[in-house]
Structure 1
Amino acid sequence: MTTSAHTPDFSRIPRAALPALLCAMPKAELHIHIEGSLEPELIFALAQRNGVALPYASVEALRAAYAFTDLQSFLDIYYAGASVLLHEQDFYDMAWAYFERAKADNVVHAELFFDPQTHTARNVPMATVIHGLARACADAQAKLGVSSALILCFLRHLSEAEAFDTLEAALPFREHFIGVGLDSSERGHPPEKFARVFAKCRELGLKLVAHAGEEGPPAYIESALDVLHVQRIDHGVRSIESAELMHRLAASRMPLTVCPLSNVKLCVYGDMAEHQLPALLAAGLCATVNSDDPAYFGGYMNANFLATFNALPQLGAAEAYTLAANSFEASFVDDAMKKAWTASLDQAFAQAITA
């Protein structure tokens, strides 16, 4: 955990002060699919602007369809929602809406996943996608003080060859993204499927992350580490099923980008009270809290923190601090920025003690 010489006395923070502190403390978000932040209202506004017909009669009808039984049932609606994204301004508007919510939740840094294959398959040019998102990132820094970076994700239900084609199409815009990830349907698509693509990305100096251990088994986490050589595991909650893997993750400080509301919405856990985040933290893992696809899963960063801490009374001020500090440690920024954010985290906790 990234700590400072001024780590607070957590025992002096009453339980009643915790909700406000969770909302006020600075934090980084490291697992956000920007297409998954597309709210129904904006979907309908973009559909009207672009003349796209939707299979839902209203915003309310679309929201009513958000009753997912697993990852695939969510993805079906997710891809339908993305169909309204056609022009650079659409991608800008989507990302800007997210950044405004991130600012309100005291997110100081966000590393955004984007899925170019979802768009290039609809003949939307790679340049349109990346330029729209990159422009929003620049404005978020300038106008909101929120720093950010883009991570290009390969869709794992598609082929290795298609991933290579996507990488080649994106490389002319290399200055706009810092790394690559692996998302979409986990079952039946092990990390090894993309070993050569990730090897190429590693040669190019890109940061490497991958979804593993959400619906897939602990073995997928091991493959992401040993075959893809990732620097972060996205989700990773099923590591709890392997004591050996848990020890390895703790010893290496390998970050896990955990998404609590998503895990419940997609039936990884029956309800939040079953979530294993406390066990991951107790074992010393570098776990973080993130929103995943917040428009679909019931909330952005603060909603995830509040729901998690409300359902799991064993989580207190010390764990809140650890999760925020972990998010800075796990981010792909320089040490000076991490130190500055940790100092502001200390200040937020100091204010909670004196309040």
Structure 2
Amino acid sequence: MNDWLTGLPKAELHLHIEGTLTPHQQFALATRNGVTLPYDDAEALQAAYEFDDLSSFLALYYQGMNVLLTRADFYDLAMAYFERAAADGVRHVDLSFDPQAHVSRGVALADVFEGLRQARQDAAARLDVSSALIMSFMRDRDADDAMTTFKAAAPWHHHLSAIGLDSAEVGNPPEKFTAVFERARAIGLPRVAHAGEEGGPEYVRGALDALDVCRIDHGVRAMEDDTLIERLRTTQTPLTVCPLSNLYLKGVADLADHNLPLMLEAGLNVNINSDDPAYFGGGMVNNFAACVAAFDWDRETCRTVAANGIRDAFMPESRRAALLLELARYE
């Protein structure tokens, strides 16, 4: 089954490029940039990846970013991910990044954008992996900082396919960021937001109503509200569910307890993604394989979920049509 899953054409819609930074990459970049890490080696760092919740993960996540300092670092980070994704049968990626986490460390915004831009260009040419760029704001920071970052990124707005909202959810409701999302809407940028990961259904509703998002990242706790379930079913709002992420962050004790099958049974528009694959058990094939094992998914279910991802990704319609045809022909 894993060989079939590898060949299955897939799009990844919920991927934080900083979350693809493997322990070995961290140490290689630390050596290159003269950064000291608080671990003896990559194996010791990997062993630290035991998370109690989202907050405990974010502490290591932001610590790891300290090795990303130059344009070459962002290029190498993204290209390493694209190569792994291509080997996993990923044909398109909606790639999110957190500019605030880099600018606050003194990294030039131009180096972040240009490193990622070059990697995206090379991945399309060398690997036939297309991509879209989502600039995410960190919801545990002040909303004014998000607006400042959005304005500072103006020279690169034409490279963006959307803006997003991520990081610690509880206590940082979507309504906090209404102004910057309205600014993005005014210039025609689509909006997505993390909601319903650790926060309840009200965070999903807030993202839909206050931020006018076209896609919900995670969204699993929407299943606690029947009215919201019906709304999501009727609108077919895409939900970018990340099964292994939910497991590693203790959203569920066992993947078999995940409500993903119930989401599909309710007629919700669900796709699956790896979120931060370096921290959460691997990439797209690992996530699909875990669902096959936990939920006894057959090939048609996997094909349906993969089609949802391709249909709802930010990509040119010609590319979408080609990938959907490739998927339909895949045996």
Question: How high is the TM-score relative to the length of structure 1?
Answer: 0.92
The equivalent residue for 2:315 is 333
Secondary structure at the counterpart of residue 210 of structure 1: strand
1:86 to 65, 69, 87: 69
2:95 to 112, 119, 123: 112
2:126 maps to amino acid? K
Cα separation, 1, equivalents of 2:258 and 2:4: 21
The equivalent residue for 1:272 is 255
- Mean CA deviation greater in 331-340 or 117-126: 331-340
The equivalent residue for 1:124 is 107
CA RMSD of aligned residues (A): 0.9
Deviations 1:229-250 (A, max 9, x none): 0010000011111111111111
Give 1:300-319 correspondences, 5 Å limit: 300-313=283-296, 315-319=297-301
The equivalent residue for 1:139 is 122
* Residue 275 (structure 1) shift: 1.0
Secondary structure at the counterpart of residue 294 of structure 1: coil
- Mean CA deviation greater in 332-341 or 101-110: 332-341
Deviations 1:197-224 (A, max 9, x none): 1000100111100000000000100010
Secondary structure at the counterpart of residue 122 of structure 2: helix
The equivalent residue for 1:343 is 325
The equivalent residue for 2:47 is 64
Secondary structure at the counterpart of residue 270 of structure 1: coil
Give 1:1-355 correspondences, 5 Å limit: 18-313=1-296, 315-348=297-330, 351=331
Secondary structure at the counterpart of residue 113 of structure 1: strand
1:247 maps to amino acid? E
1:303 maps to amino acid? N
* Residue 20 (structure 1) shift: 3.0
Secondary structure at the counterpart of residue 47 of structure 1: helix
Q: Quick check: 1:234–1:257 contact (8 Å CA) kept in 2?
A: yes
* Residue 283 (structure 1) shift: 1.2
Secondary structure at the counterpart of residue 182 of structure 1: strand
Cα separation, 2, equivalents of 1:181 and 1:260: 20
1:152 maps to amino acid? M
2:76 maps to amino acid? D
Secondary structure at the counterpart of residue 53 of structure 1: coil
- Mean CA deviation greater in 280-289 or 329-338: 329-338
Q: Quick check: 2:131–2:315 contact (8 Å CA) kept in 1?
A: no
Question: How high is the TM-score relative to the length of structure 2?
Answer: 0.98
Deviations 1:17-75 (A, max 9, x none): x4332221101000000000000001000000000011111101101110000000000
Cα separation, 2, equivalents of 1:23 and 1:247: 33
* Residue 318 (structure 1) shift: 2.2
Deviations 1:52-102 (A, max 9, x none): 011111101101110000000000000010000000000000000000011
Aligned length: 331
2:229 maps to amino acid? M
Secondary structure at the counterpart of residue 194 of structure 2: strand
Secondary structure at the counterpart of residue 164 of structure 2: strand
Q: In structure 1, list runs of 5 or more residues that go unmatched.
A: 1-17
Cα separation, 2, equivalents of 1:33 and 1:305: 18
Cα separation, 2, equivalents of 1:341 and 1:295: 26
Q: Which runs of 4+ in 1 moved over 6 A?
A: none
Q: Quick check: 1:281–1:319 contact (8 Å CA) kept in 2?
A: no
2:188 maps to amino acid? G
Q: Quick check: 1:152–1:177 contact (8 Å CA) kept in 2?
A: yes
- Mean CA deviation greater in 327-336 or 253-262: 327-336
What is the aligned-residue identity percentage?
A: 52
2:71 maps to amino acid? E
Q: Quick check: 1:109–1:146 contact (8 Å CA) kept in 2?
A: yes
Q: Quick check: 1:30–1:290 contact (8 Å CA) kept in 2?
A: yes
